Amino acid sequence: MKRNLSSSDCVPSPKRPSLLPLPTGKHEVFLSFRGPDVRRTFADCLYKFLDHSKIRTFLDDEELRKGEKIAPSLVEAIHESKVYIPILSQDYASSKWCLEELSLMVKSLNQNQGHILLPIFYFVEPRDVRRQEGSYSEAFRRHSQEYDAETITEWKEALQVVGEMKGWHVTESDGQGDVIEKVFSEVWSHLMANYAIVTDELIGIDSHVKEVLDLLDLDSKGLKVVGIHGIGGIGKTTLSKAVYNEVSSWFDRCCFLEDVRETLLKADGVVTLQNKVISNILRHDNHVKDVSEGIHLIKDKVCKYKVLIVLDDVDRRFEFDKVFGKLQDFSIESRFILTTRDKRVLEFFEECRLFEAKEMSDIDSCQLLRKHAFQMDDPQEGSDTLCEEFVKLAAGLPLALKVIGSLLFRKDIRIWEEKLEELKESPFTGVHEILKISYNDLTPTEKEIFLDIACFFIGETKECPFYMWNECKFYPESGISNLILKSLIKINKRSEFWMHDHIRDLGRAIVYEENIRQPWKRSRIWSNEDALDMLENGKGSAAVQVLRINMEDRGNLELTEKDFNKLSGIRFLDVWGGGLTGDFSKMLPNIQWLQLGSCHSIPTDINLKKLVILSLEHSNVWDYWRGWKRIKVVINKYSLLFYIKYKFLVYR
């Protein structure tokens, strides 16, 4: 692409992203142009390129304006957008709307709120824009006859500022497709530099980030894999997020894959990981349906980019080749970061560079504890000695420090002393014992919700569990709020439950200890092996409240009402594959959520008296199924959330 030597025509380096946080809002890019000049050509192509790549773009067209004043919705779109792209064509200045928009953009820049302006000089010289010469001079001659001097001066000053900025100068000799791709890359560079993955435990982490950056060796050619290993709760995820935030602008495309270990436990786990990478790197929703298709698409499309991919919490079930294909197919400038509790996982990679995450220092531990206990770094009077004691018990684990701090938040010093004694009297001072203090502080109903999430609902949206918990009188609104305050769970932007591995393991250990030798006497059975053993051998008890069974690999296995004869306490039953036959009208008297997925047979007589959620996803249910008659009766009498074929019908 031909360029002049003027600094106004240079493309800014993507390696120097804005250090200010970009504003958040409905739109990311505001595209300003004069309709007759570029609407059906350059502007349309640029908009479609940005929109296809999932960049939320406000497409403005001054020809569509009505009235004398710029609309409030347009002003809002300018203020909330992160990146401004004015396409300065030859007749851009002839439009008062374009000049008003440009003036608002420049004002936003001057307020130093993190906006970025990337001008495109489309068949116009930057100096003509800067000095209002050529067609711009003629435009202002006409404007001066209609508008006051103050307005004219404001517009001219805006053009002068923009004319002096770095941007793209498009001439007849340029390939406009190439220009659009360069504009897109610059926009994406700025957005990526400011879309930091949220993490709040950054105390004492700078030196660790620097060490990992040295291992990544970004200035060198050659594919690099860095493995961060260490025990659970030590801060591996936090460190990987901090590194990701630091270097994402160096790459064409980036992807952060959370909870890889948990994802691979699911039947479609590999495809799920592939689709996340494909969606993030290619920025479209062309999802694959099987592993081989995913590997092929990744090799064909993803590997051509310079990518950064973080795989958080991998274990020995993860095999790179079976998820992403051959490592050597990726660009030699790409980088991979893996976090794991098991160092052996990293032996798969011939030249993996290792970083061991270690415990926090006492000084940093105190600071992190205070941050969560006081919501500030300065300690409460009289708490110094107690902080030191809690730090010793936490043993440098950030997770334990965060949970202890949240437990002590806004508590009197006397409560601190009691909690300290409680911890000291525990038989062990491991993380579970520390975390269990928070669990012991929960109400009985909060404990039920906590255990349900730990055993079954991590990664699930909160809507359906809330219906069940409401029916159980567990008061989920206040219960979930308290669990979040105690740092035991989080709810992500997709309204899904998230729980740290240590906390999840604690919850499952609590259920396991209900009856170590007889799983069928525990309140929750999430192990498929334990569930099938119980049902196939006529075991079970009224203690079981929540049960999940997967019979997909058991062929045509069918369960009858006799298999559930002893399970009168079940409130949640999830059966996937196989079938259920027989008369269930008097079985499962306390069932509130029944989920039957891909079942080849379903009983027509289901006990629906207390049911609030019924899911028959992919099951063999037809219009002539006799069960519909009883369901209609229940719909008329009770409140039922009925879910089938991915659609919700809510009955009140």
Q: What amino acid positions are annotated as catalytic residues?
A: 101
Q: For residue 401, what is the DSSP state?
A: H
CB atoms within 10 A of CB 598: 17
Chain center to CA of 173? 43
CA–CA separation, 511 and 448 (whole Å): 11
Output b/e per residue, 498-532; b: 16+ Cβ within 10 A.
Answer: bbbbbbbbbbbebbeeeeeeebbbbbbbbbeebbb
Q: For residue 354, what is the DSSP state?
A: E
CA–CA separation, 159 and 147 (whole Å): 17
Tokens (6 digits) for 404:
């202890």
Rg of the chain on CA atoms, in Å? 30
Half-sphere exposure of 375 (CA within 13 A, CB side): 4
Half-sphere exposure of 123 (CA within 13 A, CB side): 13
| Residue at token pair 């990146």 | 83
CB atoms within 10 A of CB 351: 9
CB-based contacts of 611, cutoff 8 Å, min separation 6: 591, 592, 593, 594, 634, 638, 640
CA–CA separation, 137 and 498 (whole Å): 60
Positive or negative CA dihedral for 379, 421, 452, 476?
negative
Maximum distance among all Cα pairs of the chain, rounded to whole angstroms: 94
- Residue 564: which of 552, 544, 200 has the closest Cα? 544
Residue 386: its H or E element: helix 384-394
Chain center to CA of 102? 34
Provide the H-helix boundaries in 172-235: 176-194, 206-216
CA–CA separation, 124 and 618 (whole Å): 59
Q: Is 355 helix (H, G, I), strand (E, B) or coil?
A: strand
CB-based contacts of 29, cutoff 8 Å, min separation 6: 50, 55, 56, 57, 58, 81, 82, 83, 84, 85, 187
Edge-to-edge order in the sheet of strand 613-615: 524-525, 546-550, 572-576, 593-597, 613-615, 641-644, 647-650
- Residue 314: which of 324, 303, 329 has the closest Cα? 324
Tokens (6 digits) for 29:
């890019």
